[in-house]
Structure 1
Amino acid sequence: MNTILTPRHLVVLQDSFAEKLLDLLKEALAADAVIPYLGPGLLRLSSAETPVPHSPEAVAAVLNTRAPAPSKIRTNMWSVAQFIEQRRHRRTLKAWMAEIFAAPAAPTVLHAWLAKLPLSLIIDSWYDGAMRAALAEAGRTDVVEIQGVTRANEIGNIWTKTYDLSGNELDPGPAAKTILYTPHGSVRPAANFLVADSDYVEVLTEIDIQTPIPDVVKERRLNRGFFFVGCRFDDQMLRTYARQIMKRSEGSHFAVIDAATLTKNERRFLAESAITVIDMPAGQAAARLVGAGTAADGGQD
């Protein structure tokens, strides 16, 4: 079977149907008609061991080696980070996160391909900075990155900071061909991390009315849909952010994801958000998008 309709109207495409949709998405990306939304699963496109954690659970595991958290929260990155912040101070948490993500994550073939496209907006939901590196390696001078920042050390109504690809902080609102939006922060250039539960208290209070989301992101999503690659939605935090970033966008949404591994909450979220699932290994999907021929077997979601 190539197309599956679940009782909750979740659309799952497989085989030739999935391949044809990817071909259309390739054209849409080249025409700046869809917004790529990248997740930590992209780090596994390579068969090599990833130099930094490739999931929230992996971050939690590394943090636990430094400050063991209670068993009931041990696999939850946000709760473990909060545990560390409360007992070891925010500076310690930031320093440990910077150390955990210090090794450069080499851009994948998909990052490199996207970096050369005339995209108005790219969302990168992980801390590794691979998309930023790909844009820099492509020689792009028409890109600014807007990073979400914790308000723990800020005075005033600050939700984001803006940087060029050289690492210089810019005044908010600069015009740029491409906006790279990293809503949870990034290790580079300034080790901005939204990671502890406390980081999200005010954000989640305001995000329903869209205050923390930059105006330029709101503007550029209006007439475009989203294309999720390397993302999972098995935690409420991840679903909330994706839902609010998609909010009021016009266009269809798609996600490359292993349908057999979807949780009940993921299925509900995908169905309610009208996100069509492309049931294919991320490595295979990336290879088809970039025209790399046969995909590597890596790239599980």
Structure 2
Amino acid sequence: MTPVIDDILAGLRAGRLAPYLGPGVTAMADGAPVPASPADLAAFLGKRVALPKRARGNPWAAAQYIESNRHRSTLTALMDQAYADPVPPGDLHRMLAGFRPPLIVDTWYDGAMRAALTECGGGEWGEIQGITRAGIGEARWYRAYDADGTEVPMDQAEGWRTILYKPHGAVTPARNYIIADSDYVEVLTEIDIQTPIPDIVRKRRTDCGFLFLGCRFDDQMLRTYARQILKRSAGPYYAVLDLALLSRNERRFLDDMHIQPVGIPLPAVSALLAA
């Protein structure tokens, strides 16, 4: 094992590192039957709705066009369809669940991480999801669900050993999706003052750093989310990614946030952590 992998493993075992999962972890699951990247999701939406050129290839712009021209219910139905097939938890999901960290951030829309936590047994965990405020007539930014998928008051999260935080929502257990440009405009107008981030997430991050797995930072919105979730956390920070693919903006983001890049393929890192 390399020294950096030793440090990551020690941090996970001690609960000092919070996993931060991107769609690349979903893509690792055997036969993942869902769109497992922003490009895949944009292509899925584009096959079902004729999109203008400006919305093609961008899932957030595509979702906004569908919401504006076909209604929010159509967008929700298409997201339900995209993520209808359950993603089986991969070895990495199961391993992270077994560490029982205080916090796991999962930024994709599938339910594989929830399924892995369920497989581990015990009810000492729950999930908090970001929610769209489109048409719901509520001032809330997020909802909490226990291990059975039942919505519960937010204060119940204080007693959970592990919190699964899905800032963009997920298909399970309640079909919450932050996906359209308008959803993100609402969130990003207040994320600097942290309002859309649950208090319990802000509390737990103060004692930990983050391990980015399967993430890219090649979009300003993704960088903004990561920056605000990391705010006032203890560190250190690691990101497992392909160094050859990094854009200039990604490299600058890693430098600015003091995130140490780990240039080892994600499957190899998973195997090393399991060794």
Describe the superposition over 1:187-215 as per-residue Cα deviations: whole angstroms up to 9, x where unpaired.
00111000000111221010000001000
Gaps (5+ residues) in structure 2?
A: none
Q: How far apart, CA to CA, are the structure 2 residues paired with 1:190 and 1:43?
A: 19
- 1:125 is matched with which residue: 103, 107, 119? 107
Q: How far apart, CA to CA, are the structure 2 residues paired with 1:81 and 1:157?
A: 22
Contact residue 148 and residue 182 of structure 1 kept, 8 A: yes
Describe the superposition over 1:80-139 as per-residue Cα deviations: whole angstroms up to 9, x where unpaired.
000000111000000110110011111111110111113111100100111100001111
- 1:37 is matched with which residue: 14, 20, 37? 20
SS at match of 1:173: helix
Gaps (5+ residues) in structure 1?
A: 1-15, 292-301
Residue 250 (structure 1) shift: 1.3
Q: How far apart, CA to CA, are the structure 2 residues paired with 1:132 and 1:182?
A: 10
Q: How far apart, CA to CA, are the structure 2 residues paired with 1:88 and 1:255?
A: 38
- 1:229 is matched with which residue: 191, 213, 225? 213
Contact residue 31 and residue 118 of structure 1 kept, 8 A: no
Asked if residue 60 in structure 1 is aligned to residue 42 in structure 2, the reply is yes
Asked if residue 145 in structure 1 is aligned to residue 127 in structure 2, the reply is yes
SS at match of 2:238: strand
Q: Given residue 69 of structure 1, which amino acid in structure 2 is its aligned partner?
A: L
Q: Which residue of 2 aligns with 1:70?
A: 52
Residue 172 (structure 1) shift: 1.1
SS at match of 2:3: helix
Asked if residue 195 in structure 1 is aligned to residue 190 in structure 2, the reply is no
- 2:6 is matched with which residue: 17, 20, 23? 23
- 1:171 is matched with which residue: 142, 150, 153? 153
5 Å matches for 1:103-114?
Answer: 103-114=85-96
Q: Which residue of 1 aligns with 2:200?
A: 216
Residue 68 (structure 1) shift: 2.0
Contact residue 32 and residue 88 of structure 2 kept, 8 A: no
Q: Which residue of 2 aligns with 1:86?
A: 68
Describe the superposition over 1:243-281 as per-residue Cα deviations: whole angstroms up to 9, x where unpaired.
000011112110000000001111111111111000011
Q: Given residue 290 of structure 1, which amino acid in structure 2 is its aligned partner?
A: A
Q: Given residue 180 of structure 2, which amino acid in structure 1 is its aligned partner?
A: A
Residue 150 (structure 1) shift: 0.2
Q: Report 1 or 2 for greater relative contact order, CA contacts < 8 Å, sequence distance ≥ 6.
A: 1
Q: Given residue 190 of structure 1, which amino acid in structure 2 is its aligned partner?
A: A
SS at match of 1:58: helix
Q: Given residue 198 of structure 1, which amino acid in structure 2 is its aligned partner?
A: S
Describe the superposition over 1:1-52 as per-residue Cα deviations: whole angstroms up to 9, x where unpaired.
xxxxxxxxxxxxxxx7xx3211221111011011110111012324x44201
Higher helix share: 2
Asked if residue 182 in structure 1 is aligned to residue 172 in structure 2, the reply is no
Q: Which residue of 2 aligns with 1:11?
A: none
Q: Given residue 27 of structure 1, which amino acid in structure 2 is its aligned partner?
A: A
Residue 224 (structure 1) shift: 1.0
Q: Which residue of 1 aligns with 2:83?
A: 101
SS at match of 2:99: coil
Contact residue 22 and residue 216 of structure 2 kept, 8 A: yes
Report the TM-score when normalising by structure 1: 0.88
SS at match of 1:116: helix
The aligned length equals 273
Residue 180 (structure 1) shift: 0.6
Contact residue 73 and residue 80 of structure 1 kept, 8 A: yes
Report the TM-score when normalising by structure 2: 0.97
Residue 140 (structure 1) shift: 2.8
Q: How far apart, CA to CA, are the structure 2 residues paired with 1:252 and 1:198?
A: 33
